A and B are shown apart, each in its own frame.
Chain A
Amino acid sequence: MTKKARAPLLSKVYTFFIYFLLYLPIAVMILFSFNDSKSMTNFTGFSLRWYKELFVNGKAFEALKYSLIIALLSAIVATLIGTMAAYGIHYMRKKALRRAVTSVTNIPMMNPDIVTGISMLLLFAFIQLILGLQHSLLGFGTLLIAHITFNLPYVILSVLPKLRQMDPSLSEAALDLGCTPVKAFLKVELPAILPGVLSGAVMAFTLSLDDFVISNFTIGNSFQTLPILIYSMTKREVTPDMNAICSIVFVVIFILLLLSNLSGGENRDRSAFSEKLRRHKKGIAIAVAGVLTAVTAGIVVLFLLVPPRTEKVLNVYNWGEYISDGSDDSLDTVKAFEEWYYEEYGERVKVNYTTYASNEDLYNKMSSGAAEYDVIFPSDYMLAKLRDEGYLAPLDYSEIPNYENIYDEFKGLFYDPDERYSVPYTYGVIGLIYNGAKVDEADVTGWELVQNEAYRDKILQIDNPRDAFGIAMYALGIDVNTTDPAEWDRALQFLSDQKPIVQSYVMDEVYNKMESGEAYVAPYYAGDFLFMYENNEDLAFYQPEATNFFIDAMCIPANPTRDDETYLIANRFINYMLSEEPAVANAEMICYASPNRTVVENEEYQEYMADIHEDAMEILYPEDVDFREEYGKYCFRGLDKDTDKYMNGLWDKLKNTTTEEKTDITNYIALGLLVLIVAALVFFAIRKKRRERYYTEKAVAKV
């Protein structure tokens, strides 16, 4: 070996810088997974509480378990099939055919995940139709098939080059020395391509582990993988236990890669250990193969054969972080329901609890028919839409005696005037969250605060047309459900005027920006204010006179294939959630206002809220407000199609005018890139021609 030239300092610094940038986010994440407090911005001390919570609160851990199982199984199966496929492709006689097959294999890799996901979903729906099945096929099996499918090309792609590198006479030499073709593959070809097979398997494993898009379409309703759970949990903010679980995943993958690199490394300098390994490799190989087979077989048996389950299953689909789940020593209301149900009715019920991030996600799942749910939690306007489109089944109120716990003012509202489809779960109000240390109390008089020049670049606005226009309309005194374009134009004017002083349009980022003091003023929900207040006690909440109220309610989706017993259990689930203990637990967890009298009048609850903020009860339940009247005046109703379209058009206009400069810059960048590409193409074409001419001239001269 020749001595390596010393890397100059600059290139060392550069290398370090690159790795620094690559790993900085992960390092920060791992650091904050050990943070003592909930804050994402302040490191208050070292603690293992989030890791502990993972083990205590089964949700994330269970999702991780499913993710690992799916990743492992799909990696194993994809590696087996993919290696065989690569082998077949490599030994194809006809070159053209081989090339064609290789490109066909590669296409799914280029395909956007969303296309793969949707086409998978369609395929499964189609098979369901052909087989005449009543229940959706989606579940563990379909998810596994989908993962194997998208993993296959990666395995093939990593095995093929190894086959090409392999001396083609290797297998002939083995045959020549007495191997049968199968033995020749196992004893000679497989060891030669093993690094490719292993790296294919590792790639398949990691790809499967972090896939969200394809999984989202093919997973069904009975469980969640980690990426899907995390996505649905970001509705409010990324919680520290997510940091912990992501850290675990990172470490697992890191170790895996390390192992695969070590095993695939140069075997020139064999240590005594690896020499020993080699001597016993037959035993080791048999052991590893045995363990792998046993694990695979065990898992397959567990998941594919056992679940002819006798117990009843209830599929509940809720917002992420929208129920008390046992974290922080709270009551796990879902588990409590299962126990309560068994004690009460002597029957085991398994609740499959999965989550979504927005009303629109819920609507898409419902309307695509991809999965069947028994209890959902839509917001008022979405509830009205689902009801109008026939997606809801009437409730059986005789099974929901606790409905009487709901205050009358929350009954018979516009989305369900005849009280047939829904039971309110939570409600809330939008107000102004401001930093008391930076904002002059005298300025906090109403919505006009969002236009106050004094807080230029410190103001946030909601990045969602309905809410943002709503704020403008409340400020201007316009009916938020108006169908008059002129009124919408006025609201647009308000927002355009505000635009120059807005720091940014945000959804979840509002937490960090307000907690860290990066921004001073933000319109947001009262319940979320209480969360932020836990991390920054300078924050304060102001509820303007005219403002938006919303209600999230429990409903049962229409499903003709659901049996009567499941329908009954769904009603009893809703009833249970209305009873005092779970309702209080949920309200304490969610921090939104509860329409349930047993909650509001519960002293322990009142104390709990007061612990968070001395005025919490007043903020959530303002005394001087007649909810029914305010809600009737100010709530969002479903907009008709034309108005909805008009609003979205104005929203685009607003966002584009503000980013006019940016658009120009991106245009210039795009143009510049285009010119560069054309220049490069021309350059290469000319060079190629020159070379050709040079060589033909040379050849001619030679003759």
Chain B
Amino acid sequence: MGESVGMNNEKLIELRNISKSFDGEQILKSINLDIHKKEFITLLGPSGCGKTTTLRIIAGFVTPDEGEVIFEGKKINDLPPHKRNVNTVFQRYALFPHLNVYENIAFGLRLAKTPDEEIRTRVSEMLSLVNLRGFEKRDVTSLSGGQQQRVAIARALINRPEVLLLDEPLGALDLKLRKDMQVELKRMQRETGITFIYVTHDQEEALSMSDTVVVMANGSIQQIGTPEKIYNEPENAFVADFIGESNIVNGTMIKDYTVSFAKQVFTCEDAGFEPNEPVDVVVRPEDIDIVPLDKAMLTGQVTAVTFKGDYYEVIVDIDHFKWMIETTDRVEVGQTLGISIDPYEIQVMKKSEFSGMFGDYSTFSDEIEHLSDVETEETK
């Protein structure tokens, strides 16, 4: 993972075979994860996948049942939160309502008995970092959500932690503000050089900010990689479906570089499977080309067209499997459509526990609902 900017290969945190259960329900199943210095790493997954629990284990609020948490080479499983050199930005900010902005930010320094003079300089540094100069005396309850979030970040960063943990910090903000804050967070991370471990269920946020994305589901890590790798080369149906839109169909790997699906044989760029191994095949909706019927690899009936602004989202029924295609061409419902897929647009994946669960757009609307489920807190 040396390809990302700003991070080096020194391991800061290592999670080794971490498992955790609450009330008999297994939340984490033997997690292994390396986090490097100066890395912006995002734990991404739907609610209940175990990402927040992983974060809380790193912060020290949760003790793992099994496995080791290693910080700079030392096992810290039993180190209480206040002795760890990490700080957290909480989902709902958790600002101290009885203190003003200045005192909230100075909280950690005051505990460390830092001289007043130094506190003053560092608080004002932090206030400029988060663009809140002049807010010192304000009551935190009188601030907007975005401002409160900045105070929470300043309060955590002022202690110069080696790691900043962010638990869905933008979840409560509106879309516009969220986009701005994404950019700002990225800037802060670059300026401070602090490792950020970021938890979110928003794949777009994860892709646009992270050096490394860790996709989690059902208490296990599904894939670790750069945003590009995660998007272009998903390792299983869950990742393919959770990151962006995907058509996932059953296929057979006839031999290296040849795969069959939808009753047709395609050339692809994947190799290393058993001959005739059943596989999941992923094709992104934007990677499908609409072609005249005589040049079509597959043909089908258009069942729905949705206008999305800069493109149309088209559902095509090809042999009773509903494909999603994104196109700028105008098509009509009922029309017969011919499509073509280039070899480099085909991603072949091994069969997994998620095979057959996603990728067919016949129950499209329901699936949208499922995806947009707002993550609820995992804390117990």
Contacts and interface: CB of A to CB of B under 8 A. Distances in A.
B97 interface: yes
Interface in A218-256: none
Given A178-B82, A178-B159, A179-B82, A191 B96 contact: yes
Interface stretch (B107-115, B127-135, B238-246): B107-115
Contacts of A175: 60-61, 80-82
Contacts of B379: 168-169
B87 interface: yes
Nearest to A281: B98
Interface in A624-651: none
B92 A172 contact: no
A134 interface: no
Contacts of B60: 175
A172 B82 contact: no
B96 A170 contact: yes
Contacts of A173: 88, 90, 94-96, 155
Nearest to A184: B82
Contact of B92 (A169, A178, A181, A188): A169
B142 A172 contact: no
Contacts of B61: 172, 175
A558 interface: no
A700 to B, nearest CB: 16
A81 interface: no
Contacts of A177: 82, 87, 107-108, 111, 155-156, 159
Nearest to B165: A176
A268 B139 contact: yes
Contacts of A194: 98
A183 interface: yes
B88 A183 contact: no
Given A177-B87, A179-B111, A167 B92 contact: yes
Contacts of B107: 174, 177
B338 to A, nearest CB: 35
B124 interface: no
B69 interface: no
B112 to A, nearest CB: 6
A191 B98 contact: yes
A169 B111 CA distance: 18
Contacts of B87: 176-177
A174 B95 CA distance: 9
A666 interface: no
B44 to A, nearest CB: 21
A180 interface: yes
Given A172-B81, A180-B82, A188 B96 contact: yes
A52 to B, nearest CB: 46
Contacts of A181: 80
B98 A172 contact: no
Nearest to A170: B94
Contacts of A270: 139
A165 to B, nearest CB: 10
A441 to B, nearest CB: 77
Contacts of A268: 139, 141-142
Given A173-B88, A176-B59, A179-B111, A192 B139 contact: no
Interface in B195-228: none
B77 interface: no
A161 B107 CA distance: 26
B141 A167 contact: no
A398 interface: no
B88 A172 contact: yes
A111 interface: no
Nearest to B107: A177
Contacts of A188: 96
A11 interface: no
A167 B142 contact: no
A192 B155 CA distance: 18
A267 interface: yes
Contacts of B98: 191-192, 194, 267
A178 B111 contact: yes
A169 B81 CA distance: 13
Interface string B68-98: 0000000000001110001110111011111
Contacts of B139: 267-268, 270
A183 B59 CA distance: 18
B156 to A, nearest CB: 8
Interface in A152-198: 167-170, 172-181, 183-184, 188, 191-192, 194
Interface residues of B, number: 28
A140 to B, nearest CB: 37
Given A168-B379, A268-B139, A268-B141, A178 B108 contact: yes
B55 to A, nearest CB: 11
B128 to A, nearest CB: 21
Contacts of B108: 177-178
A397 B49 CA distance: 92
A172 B96 contact: no
A173, A180, A194 pick with most chain B CB within 10 angstroms? A173
Interface in B254-273: none
Interface in A263-283: 267-268, 270
B368 to A, nearest CB: 15
A91 to B, nearest CB: 12
A191 B80 CA distance: 23
Interface string A411-439: 00000000000000000000000000000
Given A179-B111, A267-B139, A268-B142, A169 B96 contact: no
Interface string A305-319: 000000000000000
B164 to A, nearest CB: 11
Interface in B140-163: 141-142, 155-156, 159
B94 A169 contact: yes
A264 to B, nearest CB: 12
Interface in B353-380: 379
Contacts of B97: 192
A176 B91 contact: no
B90 A183 contact: no
A3 to B, nearest CB: 20
Nearest to A167: B94
A192 B94 CA distance: 12
A368 B90 CA distance: 61
A183 B111 contact: yes
B310 to A, nearest CB: 32
B120 to A, nearest CB: 14
A172 B90 contact: yes
Contacts of B156: 176-177
B116 to A, nearest CB: 12
Contacts of A179: 82, 111
B90 A169 contact: yes
B81 A176 contact: yes
A178 B81 CA distance: 7
B62 to A, nearest CB: 10
Contacts of B90: 169, 172-173
B104 to A, nearest CB: 10
Contacts of A180: 80, 82
B196 to A, nearest CB: 15
Contacts of A176: 59, 81-82, 86-88, 156
Nearest to B103: A278
Contacts of B159: 177-178
B334 to A, nearest CB: 26
Nearest to A177: B108
Q: Sort A-B residue pairs by CB-CB distance and give the 9 closest, nearest first.
A: A169-B94, A173-B94, A191-B98, A177-B108, A175-B81, A169-B90, A178-B111, A176-B88, A178-B82
11 contacts: A170-B96, A172-B61, A172-B90, A173-B96, A174-B96, A175-B82, A177-B108, A178-B111, A179-B82, A180-B80, A267-B98
Given A173-B90, A178-B108, A268-B141, 6 more contacts: A172-B88, A172-B94, A175-B80, A177-B107, A178-B82, A191-B96
Interface of A: 167-170, 172-181, 183-184, 188, 191-192, 194, 267-268, 270
